[in-house]
Structure 1
Amino acid sequence: MSSNGDLQFSVLAEVFERMEEITSRNALTDMLIDLFKRAPPEILDEIVYLMQGKLYPDFVGVELGVGEKLLLRAISLASGLSQERVEELYRKLGDIGRAAEEAEKSRKQVVLFREPLTVHRVYTTLERVAKASGEGAQDSKVKLLASLFNDAEPLEARYLARIVMGRLRLGVADYTVLDALAVAFGGTKEAREVVERAYNVSSDLGLVARTVAAEGLEGLKSIRITVGRPIRPMLAERLSSPKEILDKMGGKVAAEYKFDGERMQVHRSGDRVMVFSRRLENITSHYPDVVEIARTGLRSSDAIVEGEGVAFDADTGEFLPFQELMHRRRKYGVEKAMEEYPVSLYLFDVIYADGVDYTTRPYMERRKKLEEIVEVGERMNIAPMMMTSDPDEMERFMMEAIEKGCEGLVVKDPSSVYRAGAREWSWIKLKREYRSEMTDTVDLVIVGAFHGRGKRAGVYGAYLLAAYDQGSDTFKTVCKVGTGFTDEDLRNFHDMLQQYVIDHRHPRVDSKMDADVWFVPQVVIEVLAAEITLSPIHTAAWGAIRPGAGLALRFPRYTGKLRTDKGPEDATTVTELVEMYRSQIKKIEETPSEGS
């Protein structure tokens, strides 16, 4: 029930419990629609954040700062059970939420008066937990959490503990929430376009939810691009040859260098500069040199530009591979990392400048504006670009880019607008590896695992990997991989993946294969394989090439690259795999047979 602009937390806990039992995305969406309609608009943002196991959008960078030990102390304090007993429950059940629930059922302390938990109380108390700092902060966090568990019913305790640890595992993706908001407050899924646009330019699902609930679809038009709040990046499709790209786009195209760096969205407002990653994390603290480069190299003092940060060898000036750049993602030793792995910034787009939203302007106009506001220097550059309608010329330009240490090209439609959050054919990646059989890597999501044997006993011996299917918003299996992992990799992966273990196949995973262990789709790794083949087992592109068959990777191996810069929906798509497969078949057909 709801009253006075709030909602009993027990209502949310009951909804979460039902969500856990659902394997249908449509049923999950219907449940969210019902919840959103029942919830007061004033707290809908809080509900959406809590559902995601967070307090704010990722770009805010605020964490609760609560570890397992601290949470177990709070549960012990509230229930009256010894900390040893609570830890024993956790070890036995393997789920901190279930341990909290059992502790509440077994509580030894009699509470004379309980104030029912509400969503707003839970949210604001967790805000105070996150903001607690300085001397005595840990004790303050314990007391605040204990105050919630003290008034929690067992089911509420289960989900409260999981929220605190970021382990809700509800299977609710951002796009599922957007669909539900569109129907709940726009009447039909046709309203999704307006809702999604607001999300793409704000990257704040809570803000979108609260605004559409309070002001309707019209209110979402007030959500505009704002310096300091990242927008969701536009993404590229890919094809395997210049001719295919030109046939797809038609006419003259703009081909840019594709650097092997970290994509960065740089925001400047006066002297303040912020840097956001491809996943919209605030990575400003990792790149103080990029901050200074942007502060001195951008002529506009009010702008959002996009580019790639590329590590280079300070002695030779040569580009370093992406893996080396990841040394910059440190909490400590930033100054030393900056000396060892300096970064140059290569910009390729302007999103906003001097009060103007450039996402609705064509590429050529954006490029011209970018050239106007960038002071090119030793470490501030604009990505080299050429206009062409000649496949041979594009091929030569790509070889030139590769020779200089780039991955290849991104080819763009000169008249295309910047579609935030979209993956479209107006941007197409072209890399040299596409010309040979599956020598290009793919980024796949770990959705399951198989127990190791022999020397791999005690860890996972192989993983079930999937590609992302945009059409159905699901993950389709494409291979089982156990090659390429070092002993250290196997131990680290086993430990890292424990937080994502679930006891059933995730509702967004489509698999004909039964894994020993299932995971929430979250971790993305880079894989290389010999070729793409038809498969009667794997579900990626099922029926797209041949009835009763999907696509699979033959002889896959892990390259050693954990794609922490990519979310599960940023992984290689099923559509990309189909295009790669068809490209491979063309090459086989076009290769003269022996003796012909």
Structure 2
Amino acid sequence: MPPADDFDEAIRLSLDSYNDEKREREDYERDLKRVKLDSQQMLRRGGAHAHDHDSVIDSSHDDAHTAHNLRITQPITLKASPYSFHPPFLSPPIRFDLWTDACVQCSSTRSRIEITNILTNYLRILIRSDVDSLLPSLWLFSHQLGPPYEPNELGIGGHVLNRSLKDVTSISPSKLRQLHHKLGDIGDVAFEATRNRISVIEPKPLTVDAVYSTFLSISQQKGPRSQETKTNLVKKLLVSAKGEQARYLFRSLVQNLRIGAVRTTLSTALARAFAMHYHVSIEESEMAEAVEATGKRARDGEHTRRVEEKLTGAEKVVRRVYARHPNYNTLVKALREGGLDGLEDSVPVSVGTPVQPMLGAITRSFDDVLTRLRHRPFTSEAKLDGQRCQLHARVLSASDTLSEEYVCKGWKSSPFDRIGEQCMVWIRLFSRRLEDMTEKYPDICLSVLEMFKTNPSITSFVVDAEIAAVDDTGRVRPFQELANRSRKAVQMDDVHVKVAVYAFDCMLYNGEPLLDKSFRERRQTLRTNLPPFTFGNCARWDHVPSTDDTHLDAITAFFHQCMSMKAEGIMVKLLDYYEEAEGDYGGEHDADEDTKKKSPSKQKALPATYEPDKRADSWLKVKKDYIAEIGDSMDLVPIGAWHGMGRKNKFWSPILLAVYDDDEGAFTAVCKCMSGFSDAFYDSLNRVYAEDGPNTSSTPFAGVQVGDLNPDIHFNPFQVWECRGADITQSPVYPAAKGMVGEKGLSIRFPRFIRCREDKHVEHANTASDLARMYQLQAE
């Protein structure tokens, strides 16, 4: 007989084993019920995955076990086509390792289609298993914690990240410096530093929601001990991060995942995920999968074509809604509550949420303008050299119970009497990049307040405008004077540079969205209800100078008038939707060209509506540079550099610049720039693009194409520089616009730096299509 102690131990182990098996069985039965309930709910929806009911029930034993183990024991291949991918059910909350797997798989390909598929299938898993993790995942993928107009900057520098790595891994400072020098990327450094780490106690696995919540906590830390608190929060995450999780955790902290997922890719994936889950039936999905397996295209199968139409329709709706209301918080909430149907009504244009700005296409000359617009009615407006501003304002009743948005954000006036009741005016100003700049312009807020006081019929508006510095007479001053204004917590006593608001469009008035109205109608609403206004020391309110005369002589004269105002040029805008009748000829040709031998066709229809986040041909810009050099300055993105030589041996020089390829979501190299820089600017470059900092790497960042070029350092593409060159030439070296005008790429000769455009996002830089267009115009 065994000793009593051994017998007791054997009994204890047996009981422990029984209890473990009992708990495992309870977990299995709970997950089985969850899977069945999930299937029944999908059947009641009558939409997506209702077809999975039989297969889910039949394979429920496997699903129940894999609910806990699939994400740990084997990675899920997300790269598959949405037709053939069947999202597994995973027990919530979704762990961070699945989000990391999605990043790893995106990083392994440059295919835009594959990246979209990976993100789509990942989001489909969340919709099925843990929809609460959908929003945190989207924000983490987007390099943001929230919309750009909310205060959510992480504010983490290299000191916090390096201190966290040293404390958690005990890596020596010299070894850490070696890793930085060798790898460049902070995520790669974190991966190498933690890969051989041994944990005495197994940490609790990270979840997507926990990581996002911690990031929010980091962004909220203020005060003298905030860096210490941030370091402790990062260390807490790093302790639980294994393998690739450490790499993408640190890349997330510097908001540079390098996975090639741009904003449009995320919007597309979100739309496709909801469409596949709720709007694609089993027959359509299976038939589309079968057709795809044969290698045929969508056109070869009715079911495939039907699925593609649903996905394409969903993409258009989600992209359009996001452009009008760029906030995933609101968008995801509406999708969860009502799906794709009625989404545009659920998420309308609203005061307080900026609309993505509409952009103008480049033209080289007045002749080009007349050729492209033909006989359509248009107006020409002064393109002032100021700061673009989207101004939101509305009246609030003093007796209303105000939400946090109206209490804590924007500018709110003191109560005043208006039509027999006490009211307040709430105002927010947004930059071109949708950042809140309300506190920079108290003089504009006071001017808007007076407008509401003097015109009781106004209840709300959203206006697109240009802010320009002016002198006492109202004459426009150079942009540099506007740039010298303070930016934070400005009081009226601090205002030494006067400004004027030149309004040129109205997107909402008295609660009615106007985006789908013609520009003529929107302009009439603006001019009638918000006329020019000046009050005391407040900012001047005016309309941008314009002319509706479409004759070449009149346009030329107006252009020169704008030059005398120190304007950059003019914007030419279509007033009404207009389509040429049959018998007119599309394309471009001289007025006296014989067109009798050509087949009649309709000229391309152009909308006169406000198109958020689009560079539309219904808005054409003609800048003063068109008469010299390449016809226009260009907004380019720095993506790399070489070590300087001679006098510049301590600086980066030359700088490799790129255009944005909106089709691929990539930045393609177009030229090297080494002219126009001051020594002070070179010093600032050394700080912004420090060799061991988060904005540089020894390898190209994701979505950057340098061709055969081999710069000494690669830059994170986050700045926009305005540059001008002599002309555009075909080049076998640079990949920009390759294949658009021939087999070679295009390059800008003798580029010269003009200024850094802090008001522009990199996705609003000039595109490869712009470059090709300018090259073709140059040859004419």
With the length of structure 1 as denominator, give the TM-score of the two structures.
0.89
Determine which of 351, 354, 367 is the counterpart of 1:230.
354
Tell me, what secondary structure is at the counterpart of 1:371? helix
Shift of 1:303: 1.3
Alpha-carbon separation, structure 2, partners of 1:140 and 1:554: 50
2:469 paired with 1:311: yes
Root mean square deviation of aligned Cα: 2.7
Deviation at 1:88, TM superposition (A): 5.0
The 5-angstrom pairing of residues 108-123 of structure 1 reads: 110-111=200-201, 114-123=203-212
Q: Does 562-571 or 210-219 show the bigger shift?
A: 210-219
- Counterpart residue number, 2:480: 323
Q: Residues 389 and 91 of structure 1: is their aligned pair in 2 closer, same or farther, counting only changes over 3 Å? A: closer
| Partner of residue 554, structure 1 | 749
State the match for 2:150 in structure 1: 60
Q: Which residue of 2 aligns with 1:396?
A: 557
What's the offset of the Cα at 1:345? 0.5
More deviation in 98-107 or 384-393? 98-107
Determine the structure 1 residue equivalent to 2:95.
8
- Pair 1:220-2:343 in alignment: yes
Answer whether contact 1:43 1:210 (CA < 8 A) is retained.
no
Residue of structure 1 aligned with 2:544, choices 383, 403, 411: 383
Residues in 2 aligned to 1:582 and 1:151: alpha-carbon distance in whole angstroms: 55
Residue by residue over 1:219-274, the C-alpha shift from the partner in whole angstroms, topping out at 9 and shown as x without a partner, is 53211111111110111112223332233222321111111111100111222211
Change (3 A) 1:292 1:110: farther
Deviations 1:484-514 (A, max 9, x none): 2222222322331343334434453344331
The equivalent residue for 1:466 is: 658
Aligned-residue offset at 1:14: 2.5
Contact 1:311–1:322 (CA under 8 A) maintained in structure 2: yes
Rounded Cα–Cα distance in structure 2 between residues aligned with 1:259 and 1:152: 51
Query: Would you say how many aligned residue pairs link Structure 1 and Structure 2?
Result: 580
SS at match of 2:728: strand
Equivalent pair of 2:185/2:698 in contact (CA under 8 Å): no
Deviates more, 1:347-356 or 1:532-541: 532-541
Alignment of 1:45-84 (within 5 A): 45-77=135-167, 79=168, 81=170
The alignment partner of 2:206 has SS state of coil
Structure 1 483/380 Cα, relative in aligned 2: closer, same or farther at 3 Å?
A: same
Report SS of the residue matched to 1:381: strand
Q: Which structure's residues are more often strand, by fraction?
A: 1
What amino acid maps onto 2:204 in structure 1?
E
Deviations 1:186-213 (A, max 9, x none): 3445132111011101112454356446
**1:336 offset after TM fit, Å?**
7.7
For 2:509, give the aligned amino acid. A
Matched, 1:301 2:459: yes
Aligned 8 A contact 1:73 1:83 in 2: no
Mapped contact 1:252–1:388 kept (Cα < 8 A) = no
Q: With structure 2 as the length reference, what TM-score do the two structures score?
A: 0.69
Distance 1:580 1:53, change over 3 A: closer
1:126 aligns with 2:211: no
Distance in 2 between residues matched to 1:56 and 1:193, nearest whole Å:
23
Structure 1 Cα separation of the partners of residues 492 and 243 of structure 2: 48
> Alignment partner of 2:258: what SS?
coil
Matched-pair contact (CA < 8 Å) for 1:185–1:213: no
Q: 1:400-479, aligned counterparts within 5 Å?
A: 400-415=561-576, 416-438=608-630, 440-479=632-671
Give distance in 2, aligned partners of 1:402 and 1:122: 53
Once the two structures are overlaid, the 10-residue window that deviates more, 155-164 or 341-350, is 155-164
Q: Give the 5 Å matches for 1:155-194.
A: 155-187=244-276, 188=308, 189-190=311-312, 191-194=314-317
CA contact (8 A) 1:41 1:214 kept: no
Would the alpha carbon gap of residues 139 and 393 (structure 1) be closer, same or farther in structure 2, given more than 3 Å must change?
A: same
Question: Which range is displaced more, 86-95 or 151-160?
Answer: 86-95
AA matched with 1:62? N
State the secondary structure of the residue aligned to 1:513: coil
When structure 1 is superposed on structure 2, of 415-424 and 297-306 the one drifting more is: 297-306
Question: 2:704 matched to which residue of 1?
Answer: 509
Identity of aligned residues (%): 30
The yes-or-no answer on 1:281 pairing with 2:435 is yes
Q: What are the ranges of 5 or more consecutive residues in structure 2 without an aligned counterpart?
A: 1-70, 72-88, 277-307, 396-424, 535-539, 577-607
Match in the other structure for 2:390: 265
Higher RCO (Cα < 8 Å, 6 or more apart): 1
**Letter of the 2:372 counterpart:** K
Partner AA of 2:436 in structure 1: N
Which residue pairs with 1:589 in the alignment?
none
Shift of 1:185: 2.4
1:200 aligns with 2:395: no
What residue identity is the alignment partner of 2:681? D
CA–CA separation in structure 1 for the residues paired with 2:670 and 2:169: 49
The corresponding residue for 2:530 is: 374
Structure-2 separation of matches of 1:122 and 1:157? 12
> Could you say which residue in structure 1 is the equivalent of 2:759?
565
Counterpart of 2:748 in 1: which secondary structure?
Answer: strand
SS of residue in 2 equivalent to 1:225 = coil
> Which shifted more, 212-221 or 442-451?
212-221
Alignment of 1:41 with 2:233, yes or no, is no
TM superposition shift of 1:570 = 0.9
Change (3 A) 1:349 1:506: same
Q: Distance in 1 between matches of 2:317 and 2:428?
A: 27
Residue deviations 1:392-412, cap 9 Å, x none? Answer: 111111111111121221111
Mapped partners of 1:118, 1:175: distance in 2: 26
More deviation in 185-194 or 45-54?
185-194
Match of 2:675 among 480, 483, 486: 483
Give the partner amino acid of 1:500. N
Contact 1:445 1:522 in 2 (8 A): yes
SS of aligned partner of 1:218: coil
Is 1:242 the counterpart of 2:366? The answer is yes
Letter in 1 for 2:662: Q
Deviates more, 1:38-47 or 1:361-370: 38-47
Name 1:591's counterpart in structure 2: none
Deviation at 1:418, TM superposition (A): 0.7
CA contact (8 A) 1:81 1:107 kept: no
Bigger Rg over Cα = 2
